[in-house]
Chain A
Amino acid sequence: MNYALAVYGATGNSQAGQTALSFAKAVLASGHSISRIFFYQDGVQNASSLSNPPQDEVNLPSEWQALVQQHGIDAVVCIAAALRRGIVDAGEAERYQLPANNLAEGFELSGLGQLLESLIETDRLITFGA
């Protein structure tokens, strides 16, 4: 089956990101595919390259990065939600004259249309953190 995941929970105050990551690994291990993971609302924090928890804790953005790069999954971060919460790529940083950028490699900023497209075109869209 072809899945898409939507992640709405922040890394710091929600288990949504971790649960979604574990689910994604289980889906792939079972022989299914994941075409896209869409990060929306507070879930955009899962894409921060500046997340740096203590070494004995999970660094979710790094885990996502490894997963999407290994399996060629589209990792899309809603651009409007990201800009509201301080997640920007180099292009947006330049456009808005911001002093830094922090969108982790392997993720891309795009619009909500990508979420709707996944909803329509995949067999299952599973939401985490609603």
Chain B
Amino acid sequence: MSQTSVCIISSQSPYRGQGAREALDAALVSASYDLPTSLVLMGDGVYQLLDHQAPDQLPRKNLLAMFKSLELYGIDTVYVDSESLAERGLESEQLLPVYTLLEGDGVATFLATQAKVLNF
């Protein structure tokens, strides 16, 4: 496949269902094809990066562990929509520091640079 840029938008909270996990899987598969792959967390998706998650008692696998290894899989850009954080009363310091904050119309501006967008 060509060097088409792929952006995965993930907007589900981490343990609502399998949605967040399956969006990450799609990002990993995209990167495994050597496609330049980025991930945008917005809406409830910003909860996925909350540090100190302890889902063991749900019981669910800790999604944060996957974020810690994204770089190894070739996904080096994770973006977080700052407006989604503000709407939920979250501070950027509460998140695992592996992301770049997109402020104002940053999400729209970024998406305009992407050849393909997959929305989850």
B116 adjacent to A127 (CB under 8 Å): no
Q: Which B residues are CB-close (under 8 A) to A81?
A: 18, 22
**CB <8 Å contact, B120 and A130:** yes
Size category of the A interface is 20 to 34
Asked if B6 and A116 make an inter-chain contact with CB atoms under 8 angstroms apart, the answer reads yes
Whole-angstrom distance from the CB of A61 to the nearest CB of chain B? 21
CB <8 Å contact, B18 and A120? no
Chain A CB within 8 A of B33 CB: yes
Q: Residue A84 at the B interface, CB < 8 A?
A: yes
- Of the listed stretches A69-77, A86-94, A107-115, name the one at the interface; the rest are far from the partner chain: A107-115
Complex alpha-carbon distance, A112 and B30, angstroms: 9
Min CB gap A13→B, angstroms: 11
- List the A side residues contacting B118 at CB < 8 Å: 6, 115, 119, 125, 127
Residue-wise interface mask of B (58-76) relative to A, using a CB-CB cutoff of 8 A (1 in contact, 0 not): 0000000000000000000
Distance between B14 CB and nearest chain A CB, rounded to angstroms: 15
Q: Tell me if B94 is interfacial: C-beta within 8 Å of chain A.
A: no
Cβ of B119 under 8 Å from chain A: yes
Give the residues in chain A near B19, CB-CB below 8 Å: 41
Report chain B residues within 8 Å CB of A125.
Answer: 116, 118
Assess the B1–A41 pair: CB atoms within 8 A.
Answer: no
Q: Are A116 and B25 in contact (CB under 8 A)?
A: no
Bitwise, A40-80 to B at CB < 8 A (1) or not (0) is 11100000000000000000000000000000000000001
Contact present for A84 and B18 (CB under 8 Å): yes
Contact flag A127-B22 (CB < 8 Å), given A116-B29, A116-B30, A117-B1: no
Distance in angstroms from B21 CB to nearest chain A CB is 10
Q: Which of A42, A116, A117, A120 contacts B26 (CB 8 A)?
A: A116
Query: Are B4 and A120 interface neighbours, CB within 8 A?
Result: yes
Establish whether residues A112 and B1, one from each chain, have CB atoms under 8 Å apart when the complex forms: no
Q: A119-B118, A120-B1, A120-B4 are in contact. Are A40 and B22 (CB under 8 A)?
A: yes
> What are the 5 tightest A-B residue pairs by CB atom distance, in nearest-first order?
A112-B29, A130-B119, A120-B1, A119-B116, A116-B30
Chain A interfacial positions (CB closer than 8 Å to B): 6, 8, 40-42, 80-81, 84, 111-113, 115-117, 119-121, 125, 127, 130
Taking Cβ atoms with an 8 Å cutoff, the residues of B that contact A are: 1-2, 4, 6, 11, 17-19, 22, 25-26, 29-30, 33, 35, 116, 118-120
